[in-house]
A and B are shown apart, each in its own frame.
Chain A
Amino acid sequence: EDKVVQSPLSLVVHEGDTVTLNCSYEVTNFRSLLWYKQEKKAPTFLFMLTSSGIEKKSGRLSSILDKKELFSILNITATQTGDSAVYLCAVDYRAQKLVFGQGTRLTINP
């Protein structure tokens, strides 16, 4: 059975801290791994990773994939209250079929 597991499920930090969110997967026919940010409504796309060891960066966010150990991490540096959200990891395993992890609820306190 294809599955994606995220950890931690919940994380509370202070503004300015650096956080690392984890995503491990067991999926046949891996095509890509995606990170989404979900605030109150629909998930919004952050990163797509297809190759091991190549870091993707966008401002204070970065992510990397390890296809040998079957995991990915999402880093957020110098966190801000606007980073508070649920972060979803998903794996695309066949023709845009995604399997999602449970999500990590990140809360940034001022």
Chain B
Amino acid sequence: NAGVTQTPKFQVLKTGQSMTLQCAQDMNHEYMSWYRQDPGMGLRLIHYSVGAGITDQGEVPNGYNVSRSTTEDFPLRLLSAAPSQTSVYFCASSYGAPGDTQYFGPGTRLTVL
């Protein structure tokens, strides 16, 4: 049971490049989320999904796309990277029931030059 896994761990992009951050979980969780964490700040919700085929926007969705074709995977796509997207990105998952806990992946540190 690997829990929540994220790849890559580190990534450097140039402005305008696109890329996909991968997230997978093997706990059969319905709910998955993407957060970003900037220095001195807590985590902010980018997008989330309540099940395969269902996604919705969080607090800071602009510049990011998501899809959820399977229960296990929830990739985050940066369409045209900007320096403002330099951050640490965390994926999380849970069963989604009231009182349930979100489990976080190890994070991806992204730098956009």
Determine the chain B residues whose CB is within 8 A of the CB of A42 once the complex forms: 90, 104-107
Query: Would you call the interface of chain A mostly helix, strand, loop, or mixed?
Result: strand
Kindly state the separation between the CA atoms of A96 and B45 in the bound complex, as whole angstroms: 11
Q: Is the CB of B42 within 8 A of A4?
A: yes
Q: Is the CB of B98 within 8 A of A32?
A: yes
Instruction: Tell me how many residue pairs across A and B have CB atoms closer than 8 Å.
Output: 63
Q: Is the CB of A98 within 8 A of B107?
A: no
Asked whether B8 is an interface residue with its Cβ less than 8 Å from the other chain, the reply is: no
Q: How many residues of A contact B (CB 8 A)?
A: 24
Determine the chain A residues whose CB is within 8 A of the CB of B99 once the complex forms: 32, 48, 50
Closest chain A CB from B109 CB (angstroms) = 10
Given contacts A32-B98, A42-B106, A48-B101, contact A96 B48 (CB under 8 A): yes
Q: Chain B residue with minimal CB distance to A101?
A: B42
Closest chain B CB from A104 CB (angstroms) = 10
Closest chain B CB from A24 CB (angstroms) = 14
Q: Is the CB of B40 within 8 A of A102?
A: yes
Closest chain B CB from A84 CB (angstroms) = 17
Kindly state the separation between the CA atoms of A101 and B40 in the bound complex, as whole angstroms: 10
Q: Is the CB of A102 within 8 A of B41?
A: yes
- 16 more A-B residue pairs beyond the given contacts A43-B104, A98-B102, with a C-beta to C-beta distance below 8 A: A6-B42, A9-B40, A34-B101, A42-B104, A43-B43, A48-B99, A95-B50, A96-B50, A97-B48, A98-B35, A100-B35, A100-B42, A100-B44, A102-B40, A103-B40, A103-B42
Interface residues of B (CB under 8 A from A): 31, 33, 35, 40-45, 48, 50, 58-59, 90, 94, 96, 98-107
10 A-B pairs whose Cβ atoms sit less than 8 Å apart in the complex = A9-B40, A41-B107, A42-B90, A88-B43, A90-B43, A95-B50, A96-B50, A96-B94, A97-B33, A97-B45
